[in-house]
Amino acid sequence: MSKIGLEIVALSHSVSQSHNYAIVLGEKGGSRRLPIVIGAFEAQAIAVALENMSPNRPLTHDLFKNTLLTFNISIEEVHISELIDGIFYAKLICRQGDRYMEVDSRTSDAIAMAIRFECPIYTTSEIMDVAGVVLDDEGVKAEPTQEKPRKKSIQNFSLKELNNQLDEALAQENYELAAKIRDEINKRKESES
């Protein structure tokens, strides 16, 4: 399993989930991007660290960093290690002296800690193949990096299946497909009237 280095490319509002944010990690030396949806509090913790802001009182991630440093523990690397049912899982690779330990973490928390410890972030080629996207020449449209198996035409789906497909396309921020599905749903509703 090869490690792929990542860097933070962007932090923005999630288009598909109105109360959430998306952090976009870019493949170092490559064109693939790994978008991860995170909550508002996690986005704030990441933004504070990215902007080198110093709140009057330490945020939870700052408190955790201070606690680790008090016990001479550093975070050496962050690994986005698994993707299960659309959820990313991460591990903090910690060092205390010559002893290394792995600590399970939510991916958003791991990224917030990586920024604070200025340590590298990695994922696997398998995760990038499944969840990575490549930007086109204009840098606007995203396409999956792994070729998906062909599915039946949207004209062959039932209305219920189309609505499920529409929700899935929006969750994946595949707006081109979502527009096609929406048009097919509207066409069917008009023909029923």
∠ CA 162-165-168, nearest 5°, is 155
Residues 6+ away with beta carbon under 8 Å from 192: none
Nearest to 92 by CA among 73, 68, 76: 76
pTM of model > 0.85 = no
Per-residue pLDDT of the chain (193 residues; tens, 9 = 90+): 689 999 999 998 766 666 788 999 999 988 899 999 998 888 999 999 999 888 888 889 999 999 999 999 999 999 999 999 889 999 999 999 999 999 999 999 999 999 999 999 999 999 999 999 986 544 544 444 443 333 446 667 787 877 877 777 777 767 777 777 887 888 888 877 6
